[in-house]
Amino acid sequence: MDNFNETFSYMMGQAMTMIAYCTFATFIEKILEDERKKVKAALGHEPTQENWQDYYKLKQEKTDKQKVNQREIDREKLRRLVMGELDATSDAG
């Protein structure tokens, strides 16, 4: 009987892993399908591997640029705080 419980527990664990994997795969597939439709509409044809590389490189550049801009804003706020131009308790919003 103990062997049955171990086998059953193992099989249930495997089933849960498969369900989680399938759910995750479906989620990713949906995201990629939406991205493919956007890129296809912009290009007017099915994207090639090179198109995908360019697309994701440009998305990464956009993200990096936003991070740099936010860092500059934060750095200016910190500079004003250190120089006494900004009250630490005030909303720097």
Say how far apart CA 86 and CA 75 lie, in whole Å: 13
Which residues, including other chains, have CB under 8 Å from residue 80's CB and lie 6 or more apart? 86
Residue ranges, the chain, pLDDT below 70: 1, 86-93
Clarify whether residues 39 and 53 are in a common domain.
no
pLDDT at 85: 78
pLDDT at 50: 94
Q: State pTM to two decimals.
A: 0.54
Q: Which two tokens stand for residue 49?
A: 């591997």
Which range of residues forms the domain containing residue 68?
Answer: 48-93
Q: Which two tokens stand for residue 62?
A: 């956009």
Clarify whether residues 91 and 81 are in a common domain.
yes
Residues 28, 57, 35, 68: what is their CA dihedral angle, to the nearest 10 degrees?
Answer: 90
pLDDT at 21: 94
Taking CA atoms, 85 is separated from 13, 70, 82, in Å, by 59, 20, 8
pLDDT at 2: 74
The count of structural domains within the chain is 2
